[in-house]
Amino acid sequence: MGKRIFNKYESNVRSYCRVFDEILDYAKGSIIKDIKGKEYIDFFCGAGALNYGHNNNYIKREVMNYLREDRIVHSLDMYTKAKLDFLEFFEEKILIPRKFKYKIQFTGPTGTNAVEASLKLARKVKQRNSIWCLMGCFHGMSLGALSLTSDSSSRGGAGVPLENVVHIPAPYMFDGFDTIKYMQTLLDDDHSGIEKPAAFIMETVQAEGGVHVFDDKFLKDVETFCNENDILLIIDDVQVGNARCGTFFSSERAKINPDIVVLSKSIGGFGMPFALTLFKPELDIWEPGEHNGTFRGNNLAMVASKAGLEFMINENIENEVKRKSAIVKSYLEKYIKPLSKDYEIRGIGLIWGIETNNGKLAEKISINAFKKGLIVERAGRDNSVIKLMPALTIDDDLLVKGLDILKDVMEKTK
């Protein structure tokens, strides 16, 4: 079977398949097979959509049972039993134990749509146009979210001016740079030329931005800054939420209470399209239908989502992530970092980045790793960071086997 049909019909916009250039078919846990039967260890995880692995047995069983019984699949935002079960579970097992009192908005089923909802709502509540974000951020590709997303290649596709946002330098960008003081100056200096925003949005770990982990103090300081200045804090947990960092919400480690949280990717259980925007009840000033969408009532995704959360709790995934994180960290520091003085290691939980400081080299590493049976993506400035995101459920042996392949490839790739 050749790739003629893809080349002939599929738009030039396709991207991942250019590096991972085989026809994939089977997938279970952390193993993918192509149509020739070659196996790959998956350290990409659907860009964070498959935290509990491919075709997770527990989630799959719940989804198959639901389908077998002809339960309702599509229902816009009407009340359904699947939604009732999901909400009750989410309240009891996710919100109450964390003392969060969020309202839940089912948005269209992509991260970017849930980000759009958060931006619209923040602007509506505060009656201000501007949103602030950090340089290096990624929040999605639809126009509102794209105005935040900082990489120039994504922004280049917009076709219209990307407005009403201000990009703030991230703390890691300059030695000793005080991001909070800078933001306070923008507000206090009557010659700054910058208007007060409705909200400040950030990821606790810039994932697409090259795996930059913001420390607990910075997160706490951002929260204080937002509270003191009447600015809403939005945490975009689309990629690094769902236990990826060792707690369900990635910001739990800093003990903050964001005004709005955006979830997608792995909240869909095992790759089902699903997204949620959570916000404090007093912010819920939407008119009915004001942020609408045909696929908000994806009951199959709600079933998969609830099953994914059950699995996460029953299998103690948050603690497993912390344990496996130590394995990855020590491996990278012991075997990968010494390979070059240019390499830096960054990460938390089960998201790790190897900064090669060389985009061309990183591309070759990713291509060669794929040839050797390992799927790893790149991220960051000049795509120079090798980003490791194994499933949170990966066996220790397979995790180390994947790291061994990467080490071997990095030793040989010049």
Ligand X SMILES: Cc1ncc(COP(=O)(O)O)c(C=O)c1O
Residues at the contact surface with ligand X, assessed by CB under 6 A: 47, 110-112, 115, 138-140, 203, 207-208, 236, 238-239, 264
The distance of closest approach from Cβ of residue 380 to ligand X in the complex, given in angstroms and rounded to an integer, is: 13
Q: What's the min distance (Å) between Cβ of 177 and ligand X?
A: 22
Nearer to ligand X, 238 or 243 (CB): 238
* Angle at the Cα of 145 from the Cα atoms of 103 and 272, rounded to 5 degrees: 60
Q: In what order do the strands lie in the sheet with 199-202?
A: 103-106, 276-279, 260-263, 232-236, 199-202, 131-134, 165-168
Position closest to ligand X via CB: 111
Shortest Cβ distance from residue 71 to ligand X (Å)?
Answer: 25
Cα–Cα distance measured from residue 98 to residue 100, given in angstroms and rounded to the nearest whole number: 5
Q: 58, 269 in Cβ contact below 8 A?
A: no
CB of 176 to ligand X, least distance (A): 27
| For ligand X, the closer CB: 46 or 409 | 46
Contacts of residue 400, Cβ cutoff 8 Å, sequence gap at least 6: 327, 331
Furthest CA-CA distance within the chain: 65
Nearer to ligand X, 30 or 112 (CB): 112
Q: What is the CA radius of gyration of the chain?
A: 21
- Rounded to the nearest angstrom, the gap between the alpha carbon of residue 293 and the centroid of all alpha carbons in its chain is 22
In the complex with ligand X, the residue whose CB is nearer, 366 or 410, is: 366
* Minimum separation from the CB atom of position 239 to ligand X (A): 3
| CB of 203 or CB of 363, closer to ligand X | 203
Output the 3-class SS for 77-92. CCCCHHHHHHHHHHHH
Please, what is the angle between helix 359-371 and helix 396-412, to 10°? 130
Q: Which is nearer to ligand X, 168 or 405 (CB)?
A: 168
In the DSSP assignment, the letter for residue 280 is: -
Work out how close the CB of 241 gets to ligand X at its nearest, in angstroms, rounded to a whole number: 9
- CA dist 295 and 84 (Å) reads 17
Cβ distance to ligand X smaller for residue 207 or 300: 207
CB of 270 to ligand X, least distance (A): 15
Query: Which lies closer to ligand X via its Cβ, residue 114 or residue 231?
Result: 114
Specify the residue, 271 or 297, whose C-beta has the smaller distance to ligand X: 271
Two structure tokens written together for 379: 């991220």
DSSP string, 344-380: EEEEETTEEEEE-S-HHHHHHHHHHHHHTTEE-EEES
Q: Which residues contact 153 (CB under 8 A, 6 or more apart)?
A: none
Looking from the CA of 408 toward its CB, the CA atoms found within 13 Å total 13
DSSP state of 133: E
Q: In what order do the strands lie in the sheet with 39-42?
A: 24-28, 31-34, 39-42, 374-375
Distance CA 175, CA 178 (A): 9
Q: How far is the CB of 144 from ligand X (least distance, A)?
A: 11
Whichever of 63 and 267 has its CB closer to ligand X, that residue is 267
CB of 47 to ligand X, least distance (A): 5
Nearest distance from residue 203's CB to ligand X, in Å? 5
